[in-house]
Structure formats: structure tokens, C-alpha cells
Amino acid sequence: MFRFAIFVFATLPLGAQWLHLPTPGMPRTSDGKPDLKAPAPRTAEGKPDLSGLWGRASDKYYNNIAADQEAGVVQAWAEALYQQRRKDFGKDSMETLCVPFGPAYTTTPYREGRIIQTPAMLAILNNDLTYRVVFIDGRQLEKDPNPSWMGYSVGHWDGDTLVVESNGYNDKTWLDNTGHPHTESLHVTEKYRRTDFGHLELQVTFDDLKALTKPIAVPIHMELATDAEMLEYACENEKDHAHMPVGTDALDVKVPAEILKTYAGSYDVKEDTKTVITEIFAEESGLFVNYDNQGKQKLDALSENTFSLTGTIYEFIRDGPKGANELRIKMAEGEFTGIRRK
């Protein structure tokens, strides 16, 4: 869904240019539309060609890298820091401070990336003017690298899967937008597999035994952008940081389970020209949302009927004892209304 923030500064890419220029080499259906299910292209060496302009389909793991993990996977000191950063509404996040995302580029859907592949290396050019180089020429990672924003990466082919190993990240970035920290011991493993022309499946594993008790692996679905090119996005000297709230207790609101249950159900949300299904789940640990089938994410209670997803506001309009019959989703782009399905 849309990326926005009510409490923090939103940093959205502006879209793409050359909107009507057909992508060269794009397979098409009989009506001229891109055939994203066509076979994946291959290089002259017979390897899958990962080249293209790619975006990520969901913000689930960019919002919370530990969304699917049981309690205790994040070490106590890192969990305490994470909770404080949540209460600060991402005041010191990479987005707010206008710094590179580091390892979080692997999960964010708010930065497009163009992959350029050669036999010896793979370059990833992000639309915020950062880049990565993955060397696939047989070299090994340095054992004692000088820490950097983007780390150092080498890769090798395992059949049709490109396996990328990265280290050497500084500890100024977070693992996700809400604040899970990492140390300079972080090691990231990415496995890229192009399943067809328009889809790239990525598994990312974050291994940092100074911040986590075990590695965290997450699946990322990537989709090819067609008939368009990137428009650069520059975060220019962000000024809001000094005016943002610190240490709010708003996220400590407790809502009785019997009230949460009245919000559970499916809502048809009118989003511009289309209608998307928003599923709400009431579970023992709280309220969860699955927006447009992007995966379940936990909502933080701000009041008895108002909740937040990293700044996205979900407000339930109650209908007496029947519970909620309407859901309002508020974001920087506007407000959208969802009607509960019968």
C-alpha cells in the first residue's frame, strides 16, 4: 500500500519518466501488453539475467524485520532500543535523517532499483542515487572490512540462483524503518531467483549474533517495472527532525480483547480507481492488518478505536454493539474509507 507518515517525514519516490516508451526486448501478449509470465531471459553464458528495473511488492518486513519471529529472537538490549525508537516514531530513522538505508534496501518498497548484470559483477542502482556492486568474479569477502553505509558484496551462482554475501556495514543504519538495530558484525545473505520475466523471488537472511539470538530470514517478492524508467529521488537536507516528538507513551495503550474482536473482518477499501480488500485480525497479542494481501502486520493502539502502522492511521467507526462497520485509513496522500463486508 501507500508509503506515508503522519508523525514522521514521508520520503516517497516521485514515480517514473518515459512513461510511453516501450521497454526494449519486452515479451508481449497478443494485445501488446507486457507478458510478465514469459520465460526469464538468460545471458550469453547461460545464467539467468536479473537485469531490469525492480520494485518490491510489500512493506511488511521493511516495517518490521521480525514480524514473523517469536519473542526472544531480538536480544534484550536491541529490543529495548527498538521499543524506544518506535515510541519516537522513527525520529532518527534513515528516511528522516536523509542517509542511505544500508541493509534495508533489500526490503524497502519505497526505493526502486535497476539491476545491471555482467559476467564479473552485478550493479544495483537505486533511485535515491545510492548504489551497490556485487562482485561475481570469484573474490571473497574481506575478513576485517572498513565499515561503510552500503557494505561489501560478493556473489556466486548456485544453479539458477544468485547467492550474495555481504558484510562491512556500519551501525548507523537500522534493519527496518521502525528501528531494529544491528552491529558492525552484521552478515547478510541474499538469494535471487528470477522465476519468469516479470518476477524475482528474493530471500534475505540477517545474521548478527551481537543483536539477534539467531539469523532472521524473510521472503521478498519483486516485480519488474515495465515501459517506464526511474526518476531520481533526492532527500534534500531534511529540516523536520528537530521538531519531531520524542518518547511518546501513545503506543502503550491497552485495548480489551473483546473490543478488538469487534473490529475483526474484511473491509472493501476504495483506493482511487480500485477497491482493495483489507483484512483485520484480532489475536491474543493484538490487532493485525493484511492490506491488499501484502502480509499480516501488527497495529499499535493509539486509542480504543485508533491504531497506527508506522504512521499509517487506522480508525474504526463503531456501530454500537455490532462493532465496526467502517474503517478509515489516513495517510499523507489522503484518507480512504473501507466498508465492512457482511
Q: Provide the pLDDT for residue 332.
A: 73
Domain assignments of the chain as residue spans, ordered by start: 16-230, 250-340
Q: Provide the pLDDT for residue 10.
A: 38
Fold of the CATH domain 250-340:
Lipocalin (2.40.128)
**Which stretch of 4-18, 80-94, 109-123, 250-264 has the lowest confidence by average pLDDT?**
4-18
- Higher pLDDT residue, 78 or 19? 78
Is pLDDT of 257 > 80? yes
**Hey, what long-range contacts does 17-26 have (CB within 8 A, 24 or more apart)?**
17/228, 17/229, 17/230, 17/231, 18/228, 18/229, 19/227, 19/228, 20/227, 21/227, 21/228, 21/229, 22/227, 23/226, 23/227, 23/228, 26/197, 26/226, 26/227
Is pLDDT of 311 > 90? no
Distance CA 171, CA 147 (A): 8
Class of domain 16-230: mainly beta
Work out the pLDDT band at 170, boundaries 50, 70, 90: very high
CATH topology match: 16-230 vs 250-340: yes
User: For 159-173, what is the mean pLDDT?
Assistant: 98
- Residue at 78: amino acid letter: A
Distance CA 90, CA 104 (A): 14
Q: Enter the pTM of the model.
A: 0.84
- Highest mean pLDDT, choosing among 4-8, 44-48, 238-242: 44-48
Work out the pLDDT band at 91, boundaries 50, 70, 90: confident
Q: Provide the pLDDT for residue 267.
A: 95
The closest alpha carbon to 297, from 278, 316, 315, belongs to: 278
**Which stretch of 61-75, 211-225, 247-261, 296-310 has the lowest confidence by average pLDDT?**
247-261
Using one digit for the tens of pLDDT, what is the confidence trace for 33-74? 999 999 999 999 999 999 999 999 999 999 999 999 999 999
DSSP string, 303-335: SSSEEEETTEEEEEEE-GGG-EEEEEEEETTEE
3-state secondary structure of 242: helix
Using one digit for the tens of pLDDT, what is the confidence trace for 283-293? 988 999 999 99
Distance CA 82, CA 79 (A): 5
3-state secondary structure of 336: strand
